[in-house]
Structure 1
């Protein structure tokens, strides 16, 4: 266990014994059994950190312990950062949610919808309406991911190697515009490359590469010194290994090495993956969450207006529907039941339907390698969990963490 500037849990209405039981639970059920290499956990209330624990090692079977300086691949926890960047530009009047995407990337004016066929031979139709910037924020654009293996449109994305080639965010977005949508914009909820296209719009509107915008406007002001799209040489030894468990055979393999053995993060990538490319530490991401919980301000840094943050954490899905109402069989990084979707993450609209103790209005999201966060504005509570195991649903560690954290609330 690692402790640093921890508050007395009782002072913020949390039970110390029950907080201590959280890392013990994951140690017994996931580390001692060899299922996960590590689990990092942070819980704060009212901005005061009541639990910060780093258990396990940077590699399966390894002896180098993780700690507060360990760098994790946060994958889709990049999405709230990109969404925030877009809303910062929204505040400056440089974009609107009701604008057609084609206003920024003209190629999207001609984007069609998949009609019938397969990835080799298919027909398309004209969408019922053009895709808007809001559709990108809320994953109602019709743009899929290629790796979810769900229908013919993601098979087409795999054929065209979307996100697998060495191209810029804008170049990839233009190629996406030439591929068929899974459905007409606004018709369904579909997890995909929407935030990558939104990131390209951030670059176009700001006139800056995405990593430069992030550093100058978000990471620098917030003191997030270890968050970026790559890890420089003087920090690379702090990057832990990442693993993948095969869904059928159960075989666990290393998807990317630790430190200098990493093939993906040792240099700045050409593709600044706006939907899933960042690496970060638990403490860095806590500063990001804390800024949001405090209404867009942290210390002396004012990032967004509290009214903008309030707007972002409303359910923006049509007619107040949930992800389950609109998502069909689509994968989500949060439970579909009871969750709507805001600008950058899921928004809890029905705690009972979610089957978890929680608060209405919780804002949350996770990453492919089993990282997760939530912000509870009612309880003024933040929880972050990190390990490195793909896919994120390999083990039910997210709902288990939520059960254990809320069980520690005394008042």
Structure 2
């Protein structure tokens, strides 16, 4: 798919200006800040730009190529959200249904008191967690890397839905015993909500999440290299993951051959961060969103369902809900849909974009978005943790939009 690159000018891009993206990626690699990187831009379903630079594995001197497999982490969340909404279209639940109707362990939840100093300082929740709360990250759940009493508790308890933890069912049962950060529906907070959504997919469909994804999303879209892990025969294409070292360079955090995502070791199918994929595969998923649920062989979602998902489901922007910045990106002028951000006002966000562009990123500094105004899909891959270390996403937005000349 990535080899069918069109002449950029035929799609409204300047070849000279697109070269700035290649130069940008190369600077990060040459500067020892990233191992390798890849950017793909499509407009109207045709690829205008597809380049990769650097290495997928520094130790092996292995080139980052079109078939490189990478950790997509939280870019799993839009996939899980689509999976759940496919069941929604069958009339199997309502978005305002309480989660406890499907997972009774979430009944009678406790919430941390304001200024709580311990995990025991709680009071009964004033509202029940709904499925809509999960999809919009307004459930009161959090992540271990978030600051505070609850985040610290998650970290100590390894409540991260890692591939080698317990099964998704057993991890959700553990999560339900922990308090919430706030009353459901009152605030926005990035957390493990989508992992609970993944468990709902299992309960409502009667299939484990891996099987449901393959049968209903990966298979129909032709995503042949996407899964909750890397099989042995594909480890030769799998990238290592890196982070910053003490000298301003990079070090290996998860070597490909010993990765925690080796298929035979994976026991938890994390709907919030578990998939391994390639640029070519994930572009098919993103293009399905751009085409409002359609793909070459048929349709996953109705167009109005996709419109609904990619609309802002908050009363205002994310900054209004106490989240002015997330992973180096401003959330002023940015809302949230079902599974991803929604750009509301680019000028307020101080980032290039279009009203209504929708997407999300992952912990290893990956990102994608779909721009309905420009009829454009953008995908960026690297394998550097954490995603907030460099302003890659803001820089990429400027580079992509400056290259549009028509």
Q: Please indicate the TM-score interval, normalised by the length of the shorter structure.
A: over 0.9
Aligned 8 A contact 1:256 1:264 in 2:
no
Pair 334,205 (structure 1): closer, same or farther in 2 beyond 3 Å: farther
Residue 267 of structure 1: how far off its partner (Å): 2.2
The match for 2:228 is: 229
The equivalent of 2:54 in structure 1 is: 56
Aligned equivalent of 1:356: 351
In structure 1, what is the equivalent of residue 395 of structure 2? 400
With normalisation by structure 1, the TM-score equals: 0.94
**Structure-2 separation of matches of 1:177 and 1:381:** 40
What's the offset of the Cα at 1:26?
A: 1.7
Find the aligned partners of 2:265 and 2:311 in 1 and give their Cα distance. Answer: 35
Do the aligned partners of residues 364 and 78 (structure 1) sit closer, same or farther apart at CA in structure 2, a change above 3 Å counting? same
The CA RMSD over aligned residues, in Å, is 1.8
**Unpaired runs of 5+ in structure 2?**
none
2:207 pairs with 1:208: yes
Q: Match for residue 133 of structure 1?
A: 131
1:17 aligns with 2:21: no
Query: Which secondary structure does the structure 2 equivalent of 1:378 belong to?
Result: coil
Equivalent residue for 2:335?
Answer: 340
Q: Give 1:126 shift.
A: 1.3
In structure 2, the residue matched to 1:45 is: 43
Q: How does 1:255-294 map to 2 (within 5 A)?
A: 255-258=253-256, 260-267=257-264, 269-294=266-291
User: Quick one: which of 292, 308, 326 aligns to 1:311?
Assistant: 308
Counterpart Cα distance in 1 of 2:353 and 2:235: 37
Q: Are the equivalent residues in 2 in contact too, given 1:139–1:194 (CA < 8 A)?
A: yes
Q: Say how many residue pairs are matched.
A: 403
Structure 1 residue ranges without an equivalent (≥5): none
Change beyond 3 A, Cα 1:3–1:75:
closer
Tell me the secondary structure at the aligned position of residue 110 of structure 1. Answer: coil
Change (3 A) 1:193 1:333: farther
Instruction: Within 5 Å, give how 1:12-411 maps onto structure 2.
Output: 12-27=11-26, 29-60=27-58, 62-115=60-113, 117-119=116-118, 122-148=120-146, 150-163=147-160, 166-245=165-244, 252-258=250-256, 260-267=257-264, 269-317=266-314, 319=315, 321-328=316-323, 331-332=326-327, 334-411=329-406
Deviations 1:334-366 (A, max 9, x none): 531211000010000111111122100000110
Distance, in Å, in 2 between the alignment partners of 1:251 and 1:34 is 6
Question: Normalized against structure 2, the TM-score is what?
Answer: 0.95
- Do the aligned partners of 1:334 and 1:346 also contact (CA within 8 Å) in 2? no
Alpha-carbon distance in 1 for matches of 2:178, 2:325: 19
How many angstroms does 1:252 deviate by?
3.4
Q: Secondary structure of 1:347's partner? A: strand
Deviation at 1:201, TM superposition (A): 0.4
1:316·1:342 contact (CA, 8 Å) conserved in 2? yes
Deviation at 1:218, TM superposition (A): 0.3
